[in-house]
Amino acid sequence: MKIETSFTRLMNIQYPIIGAPMFLVSNVDMVVAISEAGGVGTFPSLNYRPPEKFGEALTQIKARTKKPIGINIIVNKSNTRARTDLKTALDHGVELFITSLGSPKEVIADAHKNGAKVICDVVNLEHAQKVQDLGADGVIAVSSGAGGHAGPISPIVLIPWLQKKITIPVIAAGGIADGKSMAAMLTLGASAVSIGTRFIASTEAQIEPAYKNAIVAASPEDIVMTTQISGTPAAVIRTPYIDRIGLDLPWYFKILKNQKLTKKYVVPLIHYLGSKALEEAATGATWKTVWSAGQSVGLVDEILSCDEIMKKLIREYDACLKSAPQLCP
């Protein structure tokens, strides 16, 4: 059994499901399990430091699966590893690249020379059209409700809007954690779904158990948007620490971030401080708890293996389509 879309044909996979690349959460075991189950497992290159560890992780993955895998590369100037990580990934035969926070021009050019595909995170039509013109193979429409840097537009609008305006595949991201939400996105015109939050509550995720339990226990109302992590609104689970520090950048960071002369120095600093906070919360017990997650926490009620999650998604998707109201003569 398979679900055929333009994205599954593009990647030669069974199901139109991407295990989203999650900072500090996605790992070798998760990537292998999701790809082996018929989707595409992905992870951020920055999850493995120093860069040599990234190459080692790719070697392990490629030894365990022959299915397509993906890498997320941040392509703005704050990521000094972008070029090196791109070459390492291409040398290991990575089939899919996901770009975010910058211009994907170089990644697209080099990936296509290797026969790899590139899809780009976007939150609006302008950016989607720009990356299409650069030769991107698809876009990930990051909508409201997504974890991490969520977009401002409802997926119910964003998916069909982009699908109507551009010709490359549109992948839905935001609020998807079960077969019903997956069916909704594909019905709206998405060629695939990118699922992150659901896979945080997986047995393969090597994170603090309290983080997984928080995903299971949280409701959509527990998700708040904060600029404290990166200077850009990001979705996290509300905790006493988040309440204490507030949701906005300190006034001095705001001023420096908005000044032309200081912006290029301050933005990387904000990213660094935010990533350290996420790392501490994900890998060890700390009173400074910052857990990234999307509104789909409300659809997660148990911790399962990635393979079980994939199988459950497909079962629920099939059941949803069969039970949907049909036109009557």
Alpha carbon of residue 297 to chain centroid = 15
Q: How far apart are CA 98 and CA 44, in angstroms?
A: 9
Alpha carbon of residue 37 to chain centroid = 18
CA distances in angstroms from 99 to 23, 70, 121, 166, 273, listed in the order given: 14, 11, 6, 18, 22
Query: Domains (ranges, CATH) in the chain?
Result: 6-206+301-321 (3.20.20.70), 209-283 (no CATH)
Residue entry with tokens 């890498």: 71
Q: How far apart are CA 194 and CA 179, in angstroms?
A: 13
Q: Please state which of the ranges 215-229, 267-281, 308-322 shows the lowest mean pLDDT.
A: 267-281
End-to-end CA distance of the chain: 30
pLDDT at position 255, please? 47
Question: 121: which residues sit within 8 A by CB, 6+ positions away?
Answer: 98, 99, 100, 101, 139, 140, 142, 149, 173
**Which residue did the predictor score with more confidence, 11 or 238?**
11
Q: 148 pLDDT band (50/70/90 cuts)?
A: confident
Q: Please state which of the ranges 18-32, 68-82, 259-273, 293-307 shows the lowest mean pLDDT.
A: 259-273
Residue 131 has pLDDT above 70, yes or no: yes
pLDDT at position 247, please? 54
Residue 176 has pLDDT above 70, yes or no: yes
Q: 245 pLDDT band (50/70/90 cuts)?
A: low
Question: 133: which residues sit within 8 A by CB, 6+ positions away?
Answer: none
**Which residue did the predictor score with more confidence, 247 or 144?**
144
CB 139 within 8 A of CB 122: yes
